[in-house]
């Protein structure tokens, strides 16, 4: 039996496996610039975050209908359940679909169909987190928040993702204020490729409850002490960090040192179709690479529930 765990950093568009991409391309008569699934997989050799994002956004062309989004989410939940996931807080990127002429309603209703059946079908409770693309304008983010108003009952939190360098959290201060006023909770990617100062901004300017990645906080000892003292959860994604060359090898990943420093760490898969594994695979890989003992693994699993947006009673049931 895999360890029961929650997944808190997972882009649903990053769960698009090559086989499903080709199936959806055929269903929607979309032409993919790859001969077959093996050729596509061979393209998963990334230089950095941007080279991954280029492929990630281009493959989204196959996602067109409510059924597509429902099938995508159900495929993820099936795999996640097999790896011990009991609760999933799932990111999606509305602007990447709206800009292709796919409405927010199509995306949210499709995802919601799979998520609403998830407890029954997979034993996984879910939440949705709507991410703003930080390389788009603050105005575009605000328009997206406005467009989401009919769907707020389905959305728990806002997040911030895409190309980090040069797009600091402070660019989105007003959008985050507006989101909080609508009752949404707040997370943001920070300190993946961007500097430690972006982690500080995410906390102080946006008021996030969790930091996605947060890896580069390690460049600022005072910030590390604060994150530890305030028990701010970090949603780390070790396989992603290796594939996007944020760190050289998994053996070099600072996860164990971060836990030693008292940081509230969780382990997540980010974009599992692209980065070589779902969250159970990720737990296995870090256990081997960093020689983590059972106690450490249990702590990571426990942290994943503590850092989730589940209420206390739901959390106990999920564990």
Q: Which segments are annotated as binding site for Zn(2+)?
A: 9, 11, 189, 270
| CB 56, min distance to ligand ES4, A | 6
| CB 44, min distance to ligand ES4, A | 13
Indicate the DSSP class of residue 4: P
Residue with tokens 């009752």: 183
Exactly one of 162, 167, 282, 303 binds ligand ES4 (CB under 6 A); that residue is 162
Which residue lies nearer to ligand ES4 by CB, 238 or 280? 238
Exactly one of 95, 270, 282, 286 binds Zn ion (CB under 5 A); that residue is 270
As a three-state string, the secondary structure of 16-42 is CCHHHHHHHHHHCCCCCCCCCHHHHHH
Catalytic residue of the set 66, 192, 193, 201:
192
Distance CA 73, CA 26 (A): 19
Exactly one of 271, 279, 280, 307 binds ligand ES4 (CB under 6 A); that residue is 271
Exactly one of 189, 200, 216, 253 binds ligand ES4 (CB under 6 A); that residue is 189
Query: Which residue of this chain has its Cβ atom nearest to ligand ES4 in the complex?
Result: 161
Distance CA 66, CA 307 (A): 30
Q: Binding-site residue total for ligand ES4 (CB under 6 A)? A: 11
Q: Does 240 bind ligand ES4 (CB under 6 A)?
A: yes
Q: Which residues participate in the annotated binding site? A: 9, 11, 189, 270-271
Stretch that binds Zn ion, among 95-103, 151-159, 197-205, 265-273 (CB under 5 A): 265-273
Q: Does 192 bind ligand ES4 (CB under 6 A)?
A: yes
Judged by beta carbon distances under 5 to 8 A according to partner kind, the member of ligand ES4, Zn ion, none in contact with residue 199 is none
What is the DSSP annotation of 86-146? Answer: EEEEEEE-HHHHHTTT--HHHHHHHHHHHHHTHHHHHS-EEEEEEEEETTS-HHHHHHHHH
Helix (H) or strand (E) holding 175: helix 173-181
Q: Which long-range contacts (CB under 8 A, 24 or more apart) does 175-180 make?
A: 175/132, 175/138, 175/141, 175/142, 175/145, 176/205, 176/206, 176/207, 176/208, 178/142, 178/145, 179/145, 180/207
Which residue lies nearer to ligand ES4 by CB, 66 or 270? 270
Q: In this structure, what token pair is assigned to residue 10?
A: 């997972």
Helix axes 221-229, 196-204, angle to 10 degrees: 40
Let me know if 192 is a catalytic residue: yes
Judged by beta carbon distances under 5 to 8 A according to partner kind, the member of ligand ES4, Zn ion, none in contact with residue 303 is none
- Chain residues in the site for ligand ES4 (CB under 6 A): 11, 14, 49, 56, 161-162, 189, 192, 240, 270-271
- Chain residues in the site for Zn ion (CB under 5 A): 270
Please identify every residue annotated as catalytic: 192
């Amino acid at each position: 039996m895999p360890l029961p765990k929650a997944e808190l950093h997972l882009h649903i568009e990053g769960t698009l496996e090559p086989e499903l991409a080709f199936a959806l391309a055929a269903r929607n008569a979309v032409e993919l610039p790859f001969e077959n699934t093996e050729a596509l997989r061979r393209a998963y050799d990334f230089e950095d975050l941007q080279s991954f994002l280029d492929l990630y956004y281009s493959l989204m062309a196959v996602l067109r209908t409510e059924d597509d989004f429902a099938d995508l989410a159900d495929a993820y939940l099936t795999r996640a359940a097999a790896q011990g996931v009991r609760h999933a807080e799932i990111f999606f990127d509305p602007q990447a679909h709206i800009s292709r002429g796919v409405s927010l309603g199509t995306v949210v209703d499709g995802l919601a169909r799979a998520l609403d059946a998830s407890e029954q079908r997979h034993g996984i409770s879910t939440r949705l987190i709507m991410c703003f693309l930080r390389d788009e304008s603050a105005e575009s983010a605000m328009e997206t928040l406005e467009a989401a108003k009919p769907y707020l009952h389905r959305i728990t939190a806002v997040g911030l993702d895409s190309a980090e360098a040069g797009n600091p959290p402070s660019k989105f201060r007003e959008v985050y204020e507006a989101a909080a006023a609508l009752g949404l909770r707040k997370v943001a990617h920070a300190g993946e490729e961007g500097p430690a100062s972006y982690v500080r901004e995410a906390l102080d300017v946006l008021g996030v409850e969790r930091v996605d990645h947060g890896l580069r906080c390690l460049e600022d000892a005072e910030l590390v002490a604060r994150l530890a003292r305030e028990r701010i959860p970090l949603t780390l994604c070790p396989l992603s960090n290796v594939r996007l060359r944020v760190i050289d090898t998994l053996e070099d990943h600072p996860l164990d040192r971060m836990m030693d420093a008292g940081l509230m760490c969780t382990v997540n898969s980010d974009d599992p179709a692209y980065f070589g594994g779902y969250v159970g695979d990720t737990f296995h890989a870090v256990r081997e690479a960093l020689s983590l003992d059972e106690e450490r693994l249990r702590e990571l699993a426990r942290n994943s529930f503590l850092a989730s947006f589940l209420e206390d009673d739901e959390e106990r049931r999920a564990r």
